[in-house]
Structures are given as structure tokens and as C-alpha cells.
Amino acid sequence: MAQYNILDYGFKNFTKDGKASGFQVLVKDSYYRGIYAPLIESFEATVDGESFARDQIQCKFRDNVYSQDDLQNHPNERWQFNEPCTLIITKPGGLKPGFHNIEIVVRERISYMPVIPSVRTFKAKLAMVM
Amino acid sequence: MELTRKAFMQTLAGAAVTAALPKASMPAAARKTKMKLSVTAYSYGSDIREGSMTFDSVVADVADMGCDGIELLGETNVQDYPNPSSEWVAHWFSLLDQYNLKPSAYDTFVDTMFYHNRNLTSSEAAEFLERDFKLAHRLGFRNLRQQWPPYKADDPADEINAPYVMSKLATETIMKALPLAEKYDVRMGIELHSPTQLKSKFIDSILETIQKTGTKHLGFTPDFSSFVRRPPRNRIAELLNQGARQKIIDYIVSAYQNKLGPEKTVAEVKKMGGNDMEVQYAGIAGIYHFSNNDPKDLSRLVPYCFHVHAKFYEITDDLKEYSIPYDELLRVLEEGGYDQYLSSEYEGSREEHTISAALRAHQAMMRSTLGIV
């Protein structure tokens, strides 16, 4: 099914000291407005059934990288409307070339909603090139 | 090969799109009414997110359907919110000029639960509002569709109407924001979205504040989601597809229309053996997300209305809103001398490429009801 939340663009492994040490994936929110970083309670990621711990997932807004726990400390940082957040996920060896089933869950505190947090789940099948 | 609209839009980047589309050329409308027409850019959210429209093509589309004004949601539509570049601001004014549109209203929120471990204080909440007041003023807006600060109700029994409840912290926030609104000359039109109850202490207390202070910078923005006579059909069709039963849905709709209230409706549906989906639809996250006020109860607020969210879900082929009594609502506004904007806010099907058509049908319905030819 067509989806726009998890981007093909930017899906790639990254290396540390010449070895693949993880991968990144870009995510656009489905909420109708951009939000301040402290409103984000968590990003969760599952790839081909493997879940990653909170401290294995960092997030990047434009050029600024944060651990998830640190998002609370940046009241002026924003996940802008219609802009992707880059999730930087630690995984020694990275992901193999070829298809991967990705699931991203985002939890956000939207103060006026009857249920808090709002939980949004995005799924996509992406292809890793290298 | 036929060029789809999506492909067409993608062939032309930003400015080129607006240059390619002709200026709005509606004939000068013969009008008896003083009300003005607008669309909120929020309506186009899914077309923007999915890439078939841009901010510029949204502005062009609103002008193309003959509107007088356009409404923006700061956090959605303003690039680099809350500090757009001076180039972006100049571009916004050049679009307004090119398409002959006025800024109708600017939408604000208050994230009372900003931090994970505590609520914002009322002073912090007013500081956030000041950012929006400054920006709205900079972008040429005078009217705000302002969200009532969503703090907990003072009276727990009132929580069922949250966030449209009496709250000491919300009132403090508004009182602290009031001199700032005066400073930037923006008018806080408190949004009366569903589940607002128009006959309530909540409304009485805002009216009392307006009358006691004599302020010209605090009033209301009614949202027609508070006048839903029968719930939108597309959601019911979805529920039936997913396994909800017609008999139970019919019961929930009639309970809503008889104003049974969420607690009793949920209890009854549980007694009928309702499944999770049916029980959820029976409560505040379902059908009671709407409210069913009498349009006549809007009368006493009309002198204090700065803006109106003309919410709609579905325009039928005979040019009626399926859920909302527009003829009655527009009559109440007309009789009360309302002379500001009716701003189309679409919350029907979010399917891409259907939004502009829905907005145009809605504008046609309002024009016909108001006798604008």
C-alpha cells in the first residue's frame, strides 16, 4: 500500500572505523502540525521482527542529533511539519542489501486529545542498497 | 499519455506553479450579506503531506474558488515556524497580493503538557502564545482561532467536555495573554470546537471576563463541529466494514441525537453486548467527539465572534452538508450581524486529490445559502 511516512530516500547503512555499525531511516509524521521536541515521548523501530532499544535509536532534526532522553531538554527544537526526522539506529554490521520490513512507532503528547499519548504506527517495505 | 494532476504539479516547482495558474477572476459578487469567505489551509493537509500540493498551490487554489481570505495554521503552514525568514514573509505577502486574498485568521495551540513530568505554568503558556501573537501580527493577521488552553477541569465531573472546561490555569493563561494580545493587536477568538456545550459555565465564564474587562481582544471562534445533528457517514461506513453491527450503530446514533451523553451510551452499548469498536464509538473518542448544540444557542455569542470555522464532512449532490444544519447556523449569524469570515474546514475523507473538489462544493453551498451570486 502506498505510504509516505517512511522514506525510501536516505535509507542506508553508516560506518564507524570502516565497518557498518548501523543504519538510518527517515520518517515524516502524519500529525497535521509540526511539534516541539519535548512532546515526543518515544520512537520505536522494528526491522524484520528485530526491535531496537530506546538507547539504540537517536533522532536528527535538520542537523541536530539527540538521544531520545535528551529531547526533553531542547524546548526550541522542532520536528517541523512535513519534514523528516532521521532515525539513527545502532546495529553492528548494519542491514543486508535487499528488502526489509520496517515498522516505526511514534508516541507524542498532544495535550488536547482524550487519550495521551497519541500513538502512530508506520510500516513500509524498503530496499537497502548498501 | 494523460498527464495526471499530481504529475503536472511535480513538473513545476514552487513559484513556477503560481506563475502558471491564472489570477482569480471571479465576477464582482452581488452581495447582501456582509460575511466573507475563506478556506483554512489546514484542509489541504494530506495533499501537502503526500506531495501533490505545495503551500503556493494551496494559496492559488483558495483564490481560484473565489475566496476573500485564507486562514493559516502557524505550526503547519509557516516555514521555519516560529521564526520564518524575512524572504518567506515577503513571499507570503506577494502571494496575497498576486491572488488578491486577505489573511483571515491564524490558528494557535497551547501544549500544556509540554514537559513529560509537569504541566506548563500559566506564565509559560502565555509566553508560548506571545510567540504566535508576534508571528500572526508579522504575517498580517488580526484574528486568531485560539485553542482554549487544555488544562484539567477544576471540577472532575466536567472533564467529559475537555478541553472546553472551566479551569483556573486556563483562565489565568488567557488573563496573562490579554495584554500581549492588545500589544500585538490580535484578537483571541477562543475556538468552540466539539464537544463544547454552548449552555455551560465554561461559556458563561468567558463571557463574564469579556464583559468585566471590556476587552476587544477576547471573543470566540465557533467551529461547526459543535452543531453535528447526525454523525458523518464515511466513518460509519468504515466501522461497518470493520465489523461493527448496523443495529448497534443505529442505537448509538439515536442515543447521540437524544443527548443521552457518553457515559450512559457506553453503558447501554456494553449491555447490548457491544464489541470494543462499538463501545469506543459510543464514547468521547467516538460519536461524542461531536456535540449537538442548538444553533439558536449561538445567538448570544455572535457579537463576540471574530471568526467562524465552517467545519464540514460531506456535501451531498443536492448541495447540503450531511451532518450540520448550515441554513440555521448561517441565519443565526446573519441575524446577529456577523460580518467576519466563514472559513471552510474540511474533515471528511482524507483521500488525496479529493480535497479541492470538496472545498469547492462547500463554498458553492455557502454562497447559495447566503445568496452570493
Per-residue pLDDT tens over the stretch B91-101: 999 999 999 99
**Cα dist from B15 to B4, B59, B84, B94, whole Å:** 20, 12, 18, 11
Separation of alpha carbons B57 and B33, rounded Å: 29
Rounded CA-CA distance B242/B212 in Å is 51
In the block, residue with C-alpha cell 487544555 = B150
Q: Do B75 and A35 touch (CB under 8 A)?
A: yes
Q: What is the pLDDT of residue A1?
A: 59
Task: Report the pLDDT value the prediction gives residue B3, as an integer from 0 to 100.
Answer: 43
> A14 at the B interface (CB within 8 A)?
no
The arithmetic mean of pLDDT across residues A105-118, rounded, is: 95
Nearest residue of chain A to residue B81 (CA atoms): A80
Interval A65-89: pLDDT, tens: 999 999 999 999 999 999 999 999 9
Tell me which residue has cell 542498497.
Answer: A129
The set of cell numbers assigned to B276 is 470494543
Rounded to a whole number of angstroms, the distance from the CA of B284 to the nearest CA of chain A is: 8
Cβ-nearest to B113 among A4, A30, A109:
A109
- Side-chain-side CA neighbours of residue B85 (13 Å): 3
Q: Quote the CA–CA distance of B41 and B55 in Å, as a whole number.
A: 8
Q: What pLDDT, on a 0 to 100 scale, did the predictor assign at position B20?
A: 47
Positive or negative, the CA dihedral B304, B307, B313, B314 is positive
Q: Which of A80, A111, A114 sits opposite B113 (nearest CB)?
A: A111
Mean of pLDDT over chain B: 92
pLDDT, residue B32, reads 84
Q: What is the ipTM of this complex?
A: 0.94
Residues carrying CATH 3.20.20.150, chain B: 33-230+292-370
pLDDT value for B30: 56
Q: Helix, strand or coil for residue B218?
A: strand
Residues across chain A: 130
User: What is the rounded CA–CA span in Å between residue B181 and residue B167?
Assistant: 20
Quote the pLDDT of residue A130: 86
Q: What is the DSSP string of B245-285?
A: -HHHHHHHHHHHHTT--HHHHHHHHHHTT--HHHHHHTSTT
> Percentage of chain B surpassing pLDDT 90?
87
d(CA B77, CA B89): 12
Query: Which residue from A113, A45, A44, A107 is spatially nearest to A79, judged by alpha carbons?
Result: A107
Q: How many CB pairs under 8 A join A and B?
A: 61
Q: What is the pLDDT of residues B321-353, one digit of tens each?
A: 999 999 999 999 999 999 999 999 999 977 768
CA distances from B246 to A14, B156, B268, B364 (A): 53, 34, 15, 33
Cβ contact, residue pair B114, A115, below 8 Å? no
In chain A, what are the domains?
12-128 (2.60.40)
Mean predicted confidence (pLDDT) in A24-31: 97
Nearest Cα residue to B372 out of B29, B59, B116, B79: B29
CA atoms of B290 and B164, how far apart (whole Å): 13
pLDDT tens profile A35-70: 999 999 999 999 999 999 999 999 999 999 999 999
Could you say which of B48, B110, B284 has the minimum Cβ distance to residue A82? B48
Q: For residue B89, what is its C-alpha cell?
A: 514573509
Contacts with A78 from chain B: Cβ below 8 Å: 81
Cβ-contact A117, A41 below 8 angstroms: yes
- pLDDT block averages, 10 residues each, chain B of length 373: 44 45 50 92 93 96 98 98 98 98 98 96 98 98 98 93 95 98 98 96 96 97 97 93 96 96 96 96 93 97 98 96 97 97 92 89 96 85
d(CA B353, CA B31): 31
CB B89: neighbour CB atoms within 10 A?
16
Select from A4, A111, A115 the Cβ nearest to the Cβ of B150: A111
Q: What one-character DSSP code corresponds to residue B60?
A: H
Look at A109 and B45 and tell me if their CB atoms are within 8 Å: no
Backbone angles phi, psi at B105, to 5 degrees: -155, 155
Phi, psi of A46 (to 5 degrees): -130, 130
Residues of B in contact with A38 (CB under 8 A): 114-116
At the top level of CATH, which class does the domain B33-230+292-370 belong to? alpha beta
CB A51 within 8 A of CB A45: yes
Q: Which residues of B touch A3 (CB under 8 A)?
A: none
